[in-house]
Amino acid sequence: GAVVSQHPSRVICKSGTSVKIECRSLDFQATTMFWYRQFPKQSLMLMATSNEGSKATYEQGVEKDKFLINHASLTLSTLTVTSAHPEDSSFYICSARVPSGVGNEQFFGPGTRLTVL
């Protein structure tokens, strides 16, 4: 299957700093990528849809100024958590929609665990 990578896999930062997470589709081009967040023992929560060459679409309740998404190329989307606070500590996961697939087949990255001290 298609491969999606994330970098870094784990990051620890101080409160108030910004953290950038990269999501790459390694062997296919993805016009649409998605960002999710997952707290311990909870399900994945969709944060936003990242479209190549246009602004991201955020889900209700997700602050677009805090979670900056850039999808500058067909293989790369980035999520920047600005002015991170301890409550932003979570498991962040991206996915990419397979262009040749039927509708909603997505491949997921391995996730990035963010810890804000």
Say how far apart CA 31 and CA 9 lie, in whole Å.
23
The amino acid at 9: S
Which DSSP string corresponds to 62-80?
A: --TTTEEEEEEETTEEEEE
Q: Output b/e per residue, 85-108; b: 16+ Cβ within 10 A.
A: eeebbbbbbbbbbbeeeeeeebbe
Per-residue interface string for the shown chain with another protein, residues 52-71, x marking contact by CB under 8 A: -----x--------------
Closer to another protein by Cβ: residue 7 or 113: 113
Query: Quick one: which segment of 11-19, 30-38, 64-72, 80-88 binds another protein (CB under 8 A)?
Result: 30-38
Say how far apart CA 7 and CA 18 lie, in whole Å.
15
Shortest distance (Å) from residue 4 CB to another protein: 8
- Residue 97 sits in the site that holds another protein (CB under 8 A): yes
Q: Which residue from 18, 72, 110, 115 is in contact with another protein, where contact means CB under 8 A?
A: 110
Binding site for another protein (CB under 8 A): 1, 4, 6, 32, 34, 36, 43-46, 49, 57, 91, 93, 95, 97, 102-111, 113
